[in-house]
């Protein structure tokens, strides 16, 4: 018996260790929840586009130990460490070919809730214009807050890994929320009920709402498309393949709403172009039939074969991150090389100024306010501890305010004398600066939860209170008196990220993101 065992062992040693087969392990252990093609199912998509965004524990660690408070089990008993490492590595390899995700697939993914019934009036007594949503990324939920009492009216589940700001319908009644896996969720704030969900892309960036509330545009990385949904029933209005003027396919970095122009504006990852997509019933023939600027190109006859004619504007550089002036004529774009930025005039379709913005400004977080007889725009930088303040008449930098580290989000309100900016990165991530809008000096630095990340601010409708996230799994939303800067309440939440006030959003307040 002993001799037989020794023989088997010798044969096995001669043959070498059994090679790990990650594709087979995936099929056996992961495919049921994450989909046969790694595109997601009950669990999220496991593709490089999604996984490189994974913060916190390494992928191998999650496979080995599972994820607390989720349906992800531990696999350390089923696979040894080498197999797990191989599987984790394999998940980071790109898919073979781009999966088909067109109108048919999107429509097949749509789920409209059978028990959803529209209501005639809100089922609660709060001010509908002062509702504030708090996205809790710790367990993928949103809390619906009364902006006066801070009572939680509802807490509902979202798709996995929500990113970007939810977008409200112009009357503030519905909200649309997007996840990095491309799911769009429609929720009725009056009824406190989900209306439905649809997967508009396989890996998506953000969404934008048309000014009339009829359309929702979804920016996708995978596939390289822009999906336009009807907000009414989440049906597909158009899936547009994104290719630059020379035919190069491109990911869409972000889509922005430009209501006065009745258009969406697209930042593109892989071609040096800005796109403007019109949803106007009467697109301006001067703009959309190529009259004014020589480098405009119209795809298809205006309003004939598509309700969404596209204008492609060549830019001198790749621009990913945008900020618009309040009229939506000017787009400020940050250069990807991190050596400055540009201002593009959307009316004439050309660059009109350069911006002195070294060190990766996060223009998407910019806000504006009146300073003397001009309007300034301020933006934190992702790589330096600095906030740049730019004059929007001359496009010159008025001041660079030194902070305790690079920040991510900035906020103010028309009724507040202050601008709030976090220190998202580095050892001082627990600090929040408060800057005086007129002197451009930091007047107070808050440290409400020592050692914990403190980030993102949203004001209540009247600007009287500022809500700050303690961005941790056992975190909180802290309510501050926006005048005295004293803490008023602390609402426990699971890794709260962004907060979004209905009024500030639907009125396009100058102090908030649009």
Binding site for ligand DHE (CB under 6 A): 53, 137, 163-165, 206, 254, 364, 408, 456, 497-498, 513
Of 73 and 272, CB closest to ligand DHE: 272
Q: How far is the CB of 423 from ligand DHE (least distance, A)?
A: 13
CB of 246 to ligand DHE, least distance (A): 25
Residue number with CB closer to ligand DHE (53 or 489): 53
Q: Which of residues 256 and 296 has its CB atom nearest to ligand DHE in the complex?
A: 256
Q: Give whole-number Cα distances, 52 to 46, 93, 151, 203, in Å.
A: 10, 11, 36, 12
For ligand DHE, the closer CB: 40 or 165: 165
Q: How far is the CB of 43 from ligand DHE (least distance, A)?
A: 18
Could you count the other beta carbons within 10 Å of the beta carbon of residue 247? 7
Q: Give the span between the Cα atoms of 326 and 414, in whole angstroms.
A: 13
Residue 100 gets which letter from DSSP? P
Q: Give the distance from CA 2 to its chain's centroid.
A: 63
Residue 67's contacts (CB-CB under 8 Å, 6 or more residues apart) are none
Residue 221 vs 330, nearer CB to ligand DHE? 221
Name the pairing type of β-strands 131-136 and 496-501. Answer: antiparallel
**CB nearer ligand DHE, residue 273 or residue 299:** 273
Q: CB of residue 461 vs ligand DHE: minimum separation in angstroms?
A: 16
What is the phi/psi pair of residue 361, to 5°?
A: -70, 150
DSSP-derived secondary structure for 32-60: HHH-TTSS-SSSPP-SHHHHTT--SS-HH
Name which of 163 and 199 has its Cβ closer to ligand DHE.
163
Ramachandran sector of residue 53 (left: φ over 0; alpha: ψ -120 to 50; beta: rest): alpha
Which residue reads 């223009």 in tokens?
363
Residue among 431, 436, 437, 391 at smallest CA distance from 408: 431
Taking the complex as a whole, how short is the minimal distance between the CB of residue 149 and ligand DHE, in angstroms? 23
Question: Please, what's the b/e burial string for 459-471 (b: 16 or more CB within 10 A of its CB; e: otherwise)?
Answer: bbbbbbbbbbbbb
CA dist., res. 450 & res. 10, Å (int): 58
* Closest CB 44 distance from ligand DHE, rounded Å: 13
Complete DSSP assignment for 228-291: EEETTT--EEEEEE-B-TTS-B--EEEEEEEGGGTEEEEEESSSSEEEEEE--SS--HHHHTT-
Residue 447 beta carbon to ligand DHE: minimum distance, rounded to whole angstroms: 20
| Shortest separation between residue 456's beta carbon and ligand DHE, angstroms | 6
Other beta carbons within 10 angstroms of residue 246's beta carbon come to 7
Listed residue (285, 331, 293) closest to 309, CA to CA: 285
State the nearest-atom distance from the C-beta of 52 to ligand DHE, in Å. 8
Q: Which residues pair with 207 in a beta bridge?
A: 218
Contact 192, 169 (CB under 8 A): no
Q: Which is nearer to ligand DHE, 51 or 112 (CB)?
A: 51
The residue whose Cβ lies closest to ligand DHE is 165
Radius of gyration of the chain (CA): 25
For residue 370, the tally of other CB atoms under 10 A from its CB is: 12
Shortest distance in whole angstroms from residue 265 CB to ligand DHE? 12
Minimum CB separation from ligand DHE for residue 498, in Å? 3
User: Quick one: 44 or 498, whose CB is closer to ligand DHE?
Assistant: 498
- Two tokens at 105? 């697939």
Spatial CA neighbour of 192 closest among 122, 133, 110: 122
Q: Judged by CB, which is closer to ligand DHE: 137, or 428?
A: 137
**Nearest approach, Cβ of residue 117 and ligand DHE (Å):** 30
Q: Between 84 and 431, whose beta carbon lies closer to ligand DHE?
A: 431
Residue 317, number of CB atoms within 10 A of its CB: 15
Of 382 and 392, the one with the shorter C-beta distance to ligand DHE is 382
Of 311 and 456, CB closest to ligand DHE: 456
Question: Bridge partners of 469?
Answer: 455, 477
State the Cα–Cα distance between residues 267 and 54, nearest whole angstrom: 23
From 264, 262, 240, 260, select the one nearest 250 (Cα to Cα). Answer: 240
The pair phi, psi for residue 363, each rounded to 5°, is: -60, -30
Q: Please report how close the Cβ of residue 346 comes to ligand DHE at its closest, in angstroms.
A: 18
């Amino acid at each position: 018996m002993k001799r037989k065992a020794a023989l088997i062992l010798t044969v096995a040693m001669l043959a070498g260790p059994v090679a790990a087969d990650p594709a087979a392990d995936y099929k056996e252990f992961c495919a049921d929840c994450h989909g046969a093609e790694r595109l997601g199912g009950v669990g999220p998509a496991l593709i490089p586009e999604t996984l490189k965004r994974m913060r916190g524990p390494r992928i191998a660690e999650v496979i080995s130990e599972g994820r607390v408070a989720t349906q992800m089990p531990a696999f350390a008993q089923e696979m040894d460490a080498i197999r797990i490492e191989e599987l984790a590595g394999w998940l980071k390899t790109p898919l073979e070919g781009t999966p088909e995700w067109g109108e048919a697939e999107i429509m097949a993914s749509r789920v409209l809730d059978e028990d959803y019934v529209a209501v005639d009036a809100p089922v609660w007594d709060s001010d509908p214009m002062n509702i504030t949503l708090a996205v809790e990324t710790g367990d993928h939920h949103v809390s619906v807050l009364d902006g006066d009492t801070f009572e939680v009216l509802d807490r509902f589940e979202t798709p996995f890994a929500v990113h970007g700001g939810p977008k409200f319908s112009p009357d503030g009644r519905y909200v649309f929320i997007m996840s990095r896996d491309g799911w769009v969720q429609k929720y009725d704030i009056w009824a406190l009920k989900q209306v439905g969900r649809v997967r508009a892309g396989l890996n998506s960036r953000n969404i934008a709402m048309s000014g009339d509330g009829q359309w929702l545009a979804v920016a996708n990385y995978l596939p390289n498309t822009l999906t336009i949904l009807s907000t009414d029933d989440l049906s597909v209005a158009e899936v547009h393949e994104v290719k630059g003027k020379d035919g190069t396919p491109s990911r869409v970095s972000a889509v922005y709403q430009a209501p006065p122009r009745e258009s969406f504006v697209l930042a593109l990852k892989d071609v040096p172009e800005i796109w403007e997509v019109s949803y106007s019933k009467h697109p301006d023939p001067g703009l959309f039939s190529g009259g004014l600027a020589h480098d405009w190109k119209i795809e298809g006859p205006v309003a004939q074969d598509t309700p969404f004619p596209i204008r492609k504007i060549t830019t001198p550089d790749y621009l990913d991150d945008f900020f618009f002036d309040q009229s939506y004529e000017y787009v400020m774009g940050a250069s990807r090389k991190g050596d400055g930025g540009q201002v593009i005039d959307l009316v004439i379709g050309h660059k009109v100024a350069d911006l002195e913005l070294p060190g990766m400004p996060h223009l998407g977080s910019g806000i504006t306010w009146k300073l003397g007889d001009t309007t300034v725009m301020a933006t934190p930088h992702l790589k330096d501890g600095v906030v740049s303040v730019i004059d929007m008449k001359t496009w010159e930098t008025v001041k660079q305010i030194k902070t305790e580290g690079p920040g991510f989000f900035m906020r103010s309100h028309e009724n507040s004398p202050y601008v709030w900016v976090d220190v998202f990165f580095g050892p001082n991530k627990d600090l929040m600066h408060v800057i005086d809008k007129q002197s451009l000096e930091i007047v107070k630095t808050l440290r409400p939860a020592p050692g914990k990340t403190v980030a993102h601010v949203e004001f209540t409708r009247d600007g009287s209170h500022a809500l700050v996230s303690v961005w941790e799994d056992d975190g909180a939303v802290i309510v501050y008196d926006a005048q005295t800067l004293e803490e008023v309440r602390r609402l426990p939440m699971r890794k709260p990220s962004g907060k979004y006030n209905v009024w500030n959003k639907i009125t396009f307040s100058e102090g908030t993101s649009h």
